[in-house]
Amino acid sequence: MMKNIRSSNGEGILEWLAEACSHFRERIAIEWRNKELSYGALDDMANQVANCLIADEVSQGSIVAVMLDDRTKLIAALIGIFRAGGVFVPLETDSPEERLSHLVTAISPDAFIVGEDCREKVATLCSHLQKTCKVITVGACGEPKKFDDYLIPIKEPLQNCSTKRPSVWVDPEAMRYIYYTSGSTGQPKGIVGRLKSLSHFVEWEIETFNIDVGCRVSQFTVPTFDAYFRDIFVPLCAGGTVCIPTDKPANLETSVLVDWIDSKGINLIHCVPSLFAAILTENLDSQKFKSLQYILQAGEVLRVSNVKRWMEIYGDRIKLVNLYGSSETTMVKFFHIVQESDLSLGFIPIGKPMKGAKALVLDDRKSVCPPGVVGEIYIRSPFLTLGYYKNPEATKEVFVKNPFNNDPNDIIYKTGDLGSVREDGNFRFLGRKDNQVKVRGIRVELGEIESHLLNHPLVTATVVLAREDRAGDLRLVAYIVANQEQAPTISDLRSFLKTKLPNYMVPSAFVLLEALPLTPNGKVDRRALPTPSQNRPEFDEPFVAPCTPVEEELTQIWSKVLSVERVGIHDNFFELGGHSLLVTQVVSRIRDAFEVELPLRDLFEKPTVAGLAEHLETIRWARGGAAVGPRSDRAEIKL
């Protein structure tokens, strides 16, 4: 480990990373697919990005939006932007165009760094802005495309720029990144972060878990969430290796992910509890994960049942750590190393504030709650973010003056989370005060979904809930009151939202009601909203029953996983309420039933029983006619 790193010395992640790049130029910094990138090569690539921005007069504090699918180039771009004193804003390449357009309008970037495949998309976005933008294209630029008159050619091509680290002082207190999260007003909110706070977290994790040279850390988080920084800078500032799986964990079969963790000798994992739960569905044994030392989890409630199952296999050899915080606090500010004694509590504590942070539980009168009494969690730290981008009103609502002194600069963060403090000083998380939820670790404001649904011409009223009708399966359910003259179809509602929201914010189920239930004082009675029916929804496509043994087995698998009583062979898995974690269950059951290893992407590409059954038959022919039907039916369908 870089043993002498200290934020108080005025150093931070840029200095620690520079030291690692100087000391370990030949060591592997990043592994992704069949690529290995050394610290020296990463340093050179990042310096070229920084020098390209500087040569093109992208000044300190300029906003640089990034759309790159290549993970190694994305990390180099991130570091290069920081070294040039720019502001990093990641954008999802597959986001709906309307959402991308809103984000680009909100930030009005000074420059883009994109892959060749995103160049035309960026040109279109700039045309909507009616603004010319500087664009650095990673890779060959190719022929000019439509709207290229909105893209300003850069003065110095990236590949021609110097690999020497630029001598630029970067203010650790200034805005350095913007991450957008779901917003209760119907539009995403941009959270403004700084290097000072990011460096505090990185230093804390390196020191707390003794992360040293050669440590291999997983990189599971998508780049559009701030936990991505944790995956990148913790290992790189310690001389370790960022290990990126071949695809997003949500797109990989869990057994493949488990084998990857094991074969790659991962030492430390950052993940959400829902991914941890998925890993536990595999046939694990004490011989797995010989190199693994820690699993740090954040973003959702860590379940006692999953911790118990893990400890039955691994005891305390591989330690579980429960983290708590939000993007506004710069990732997390609480931690708890899980103990066997926690199992008797019936919940896993979120622990105590880390070094550099303090916390209180206050009631509605801003008085301190005694131990065991539920109130709202407030966090005090000099390492918070700077608030919401160009939204001072929303910032003032949650970044509030400390009520226990008269210093106007003593700001504490109002989390909106309910909790209590135990006698031993550990905190317990007890849910939200508002309509914000976490779905598979991603923050979702239910009001944002409701706002978009109310823009549908056939919807007059709506409420969206996060329901957990089956243990461990939290899903979004939209309750709809339709126009009296005409009701929208489920397919229509889903298609409408997909043009405006990322997939994880599109509800799994839609329930049509004549009216929303109300309390005596006229508010929506959320507790009276019905559990979604297990009956098949009314789709535009008529129900078609299975005709072959393979289709019959697949419909039974889908029915069990989705809790839907009747599945037609042309029904879309995701329109029946499926999501990425349920895909892993389906693929696992297919493997058991058909003795076929099916990649997760096959279900995304063929999301109907009919399409999947045909695919399985194709696999059979590829085997030379060997049957892949259900074991009980092999004799019937074998040719």
Q: Give the per-residue SS3 of 382-421.
A: CCCCCEECCCHHHHHHHEEECCCCCCCCCEEEEEEEEEEE
Q: What is the DSSP letter of 239?
A: T
Q: To 5 degrees, how large is the angle CA 546–CA 549–CA 550? A: 85
Q: Are 510 and 465 in contact (CB under 8 A)?
A: no
Alpha-carbon span 312 to 487, nearest angstrom: 51
pLDDT digits (tens, 9 = 90+) for 165-189: 999 999 999 999 999 987 655 678 8
Q: Token pair of 184, please?
A: 């209760």
SS3 letters across 553-614: HHHHHHHHHHCCCCCCCCCCCCCCCCCHHHHHHHHHHHHHHHCCCCCHHHHHHCCCHHHHHH
Question: Which ranges of the chain have pLDDT less than 70?
Answer: 1-10, 131, 139-157, 183-186, 435, 441, 469-472, 520-523, 534-540, 622-639
Q: Token pair of 522, please?
A: 């006229």
| E-assigned strand segments in 22-168 | 28-32, 35-38, 63-67, 87-90, 111-115, 133-138, 151-152
Length of the chain: 639
pLDDT of residue 422: 92
Q: Are 420 and 430 in contact (CB under 8 A)?
A: yes
Alpha carbon distances (Å) from 205 to 193, 212, 519: 18, 11, 47
- Closest-CA residue to 615 (of 636, 632, 601): 601
Q: Are 46 and 74 in contact (CB under 8 A)?
A: no
pLDDT digits (tens, 9 = 90+) for 540-569: 677 788 888 888 888 888 888 887 878 888
Q: Are 367 and 360 in contact (CB under 8 A)?
A: no
Going by their DSSP bridges, the two strands 473-482 and 459-470 should be labelled as antiparallel
Q: Are 47 and 165 in contact (CB under 8 A)?
A: yes
- Closest-CA residue to 442 (of 466, 418, 478): 466
Q: Which amino acid is at 385?
A: T
pTM score, whole prediction: 0.78
pLDDT of residue 635: 34
pLDDT of residue 1: 42
Question: Hey, CA dihedral for 284, 290, 294, 298, is it positive or negative?
Answer: negative
Give the containing element (helix H, strand E) for 255: helix 254-263
Residues 6+ apart with CB under 8 A from 345: 304
Query: What are the structural domains, with CATH classification, of the chain?
Result: 7-194+203-244 (3.40.50.12780), 325-432 (2.30.38.10), 437-528 (3.30.300.30), 549-637 (1.10.1200.10)
pLDDT of residue 596: 80
**How many alpha carbons fall within 13 Å on the CB side of residue 235?**
26
| E-assigned strand segments in 272-410 | 294-297, 319-324, 334-337, 352-353, 358-362, 375-380, 387-388, 399-401
